[in-house]
Amino acid sequence: MRLRERENEERCAMRKHELVLELLRQRKSVKDIEEFV
């Protein structure tokens, strides 16, 4: 049960990281990214 919870947290973190990278790719300002995260 615990392991699955940790996997979900890691997956969420990865998704957030990918979204930040996508924002960087689109040349969003740092302020926009900080608001998003």
Tell me the C-alpha distance between 27 and 21, whole Å: 10
Res 34: pLDDT: 74
Res 28: pLDDT: 63
Closest by CA to 35, choosing from 8, 18, 23, is 23
The whole-number mean pLDDT for each consecutive block of 10 residues of the chain, a chain of 37 residues, reads 89 89 77 69
Res 7: pLDDT: 94
Tell me the C-alpha distance between 37 and 20, whole Å: 8
Taking the complete model, does pTM exceed 0.75, yes or no?
Answer: no
Distance from CA of residue 34 to its chain's centroid? 11
Res 14: pLDDT: 92
Q: Where are the domains of the chain?
A: 2-36
